[in-house]
């Protein structure tokens, strides 16, 4: 019995050590590789405001504010995070070219920083090239209409934000589509039209395959001539694409244009590394407690 207890305890101890080494260190943040630079967002500042890395390396932003959301968005076409709430993080893809990459917070434009990218060791200098922008892909559904619409119509809407433009594409399946717009408004609410996508077409069309680019000149309604307002609304999930039909003139399918949750992006936006690895800490604690219980049980039996 003592031999079995010792074996079990040894196994549990080894498992606990492995779990801890796998992802929980220090304050619970995941271990950053040597090729990752870190920027903290706190007190309405990027810290450090200027970070220097090499070609092939990445940058991770972590929002350490208690309640205030932020973004890390390149001034020119390039990297861009979703809205980072308290504890959220964003990791770029590896930078592929030397240069200076200014960025800012779309929600608080006064917050600015710079990523300086130098040549990788042993590699020749490369010309300045922008990173690919971050596309947002969302599903068009009748259930997102207000009030909800029961329909077989469906589709996808993809938006790729740039510094001064929004490139978009839509594939929509259904019948009798008469118009499509981008509206201002949060999920669960209806709002005014701020940009036209398609129509009007009183005859109605089926199975739309559309694409286009929106600039400040295309904005209408309350956002006419206000690209900064449009960008802020996009970053905070306050815009939606709405497709209207003959049967449902108020809208048959719609989608909130947001990368939360699950939209692909340049790099990765994720919850706090501490949260994402907390289950490992819990598992390790359970293993340690289990091992302690085995030892205590064995001692009690020995005394009996």
pLDDT tens, position by position, 233-250: 988 889 999 999 999 999
- Mean model confidence pLDDT for the chain: 77
Task: Write down the residue that tokens 């020749």 correspond to.
Answer: 124
245 in the same domain as 144 = yes
**Residue 262 falls within a domain, yes or no?**
no
In a domain, residue 280? The reply is yes
- pLDDT tens, 175-198? 999 999 999 999 999 999 999 999
Which CATH number fits the domain that encloses residue 113? 2.60.40.420
Which pTM does this prediction carry?
0.47
Q: Does residue 270 fall inside a structural domain?
A: no
Of 86, 115, 132, the last residue of a domain is 132
Number of domains in the chain: 3
DSSP 230-297: HHHHHHTT-EEEEEEESS-TT-SEEEE---TTT---SSEEES-HHHHHHHHHHHHHHHHHHHHHHHHH
Structural domain that includes position 38: 33-132
Are 220 and 286 in the same domain?
no
The residue from 113, 132, 151 where one domain ends is 132
Judged by average pLDDT, the poorest of 128-137, 158-167, 211-220 is 128-137
CB 53 within 8 A of CB 32: no
pLDDT of residue 284: 54
- Residue 268 placed within a domain: no
- Per-position DSSP letters for 14-30, written without gaps between them: HHHHHHHHHH--TTSPP
| pLDDT of 61 strictly over 80 | yes
Would you say residue 68 lies in a domain? Answer: yes
What CA–CA distance (Å, rounded) separates 52 from 4? 55
Task: Choose the final residue of a domain: 76, 107, 132.
Answer: 132
Supply the DSSP string of 55-112, one letter for each residue: TT-EEEEEE--SS--B--EESSSS-B---B-TT-EEEPPPP-S-EEEEEE-SSSTT-E
**Residue at 271 is within a domain:** no
Tell which wins on pLDDT, 133 or 78: 78
CA distance 273 to 62: 9
Q: Is the pLDDT of residue 12 over 60?
A: no
Residue 183 domain-assigned (yes or no): yes
Interval 256-274 mean pLDDT: 49
Q: For the residues 55-71, what does the mean pLDDT come to?
A: 85
75 and 23 both lie in a single domain: no
| Residue 7 or residue 23, greater confidence | 7
Indicate which CATH number applies to the domain containing 202: 2.60.40
164 lies in the same domain as 52: no
Instruction: Give the per-residue pLDDT at 106.
Output: 85
Question: Is there a domain that residue 203 lies in?
Answer: yes
Q: Which residue has the higher pLDDT, 79 or 31?
A: 79
For residue 301, name the pLDDT band (cuts at 50, 70, 90): low
Least confident of 30-34, 95-99, 156-160, 235-239: 30-34
pLDDT at 152 over 80: yes
């Amino acid at each position: 019995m003592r031999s079995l207890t010792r074996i079990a305890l040894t196994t549990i101890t080894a498992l606990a050590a492995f779990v801890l080494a796998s992802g929980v260190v220090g304050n619970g943040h995941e271990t950053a590789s040597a090729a990752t630079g870190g920027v903290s967002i706190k007190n309405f500042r990027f810290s450090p405001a200027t970070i220097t890395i090499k070609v092939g390396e990445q940058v991770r932003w972590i929002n350490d504010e208690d309640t205030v959301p932020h973004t890390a968005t390149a001034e020119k076409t390039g990297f861009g995070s979703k809205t980072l709430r308290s504890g959220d993080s964003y990791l770029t893809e590896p930078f592929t070219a030397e240069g200076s990459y200014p960025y800012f917070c779309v929600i608080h434009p006064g917050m600015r920083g710079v990523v300086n990218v130098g040549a990788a060791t042993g590699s020749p200098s490369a010309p300045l090239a922008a990173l690919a922008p971050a596309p947002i892909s969302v599903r068009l559904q009748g259930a997102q209409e207000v009030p909800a619409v029961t329909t077989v119509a469906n589709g996808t809407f993809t938006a790729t934000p740039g510094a001064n433009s929004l490139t978009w594409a839509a594939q929509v399946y259904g019948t009798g589509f008469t118009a499509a717009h981008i509206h201002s408004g949060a999920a669960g609410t209806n709002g005014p039209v701020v940009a036209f996508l398609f129509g009007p077409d009183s005859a109605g069309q089926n199975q739309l395959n559309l694409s286009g680019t929106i600039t400040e000149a295309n904005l209408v309604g309350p956002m006419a001539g206000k690209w900064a307002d449009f960008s802020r609304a996009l970053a905070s999930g306050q815009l939606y694409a709405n497709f209207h039909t003959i049967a449902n003139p108020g809208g048959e399918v719609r989608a909130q244009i947001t990368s939360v949750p699950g939209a692909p992006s340049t790099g990765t936006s994720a919850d706090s590394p501490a949260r994402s690895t907390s289950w490992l800490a819990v598992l390790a604690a359970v293993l340690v407690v289990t091992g302690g219980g085995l030892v205590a049980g064995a001692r009690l039996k020995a005394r009996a």
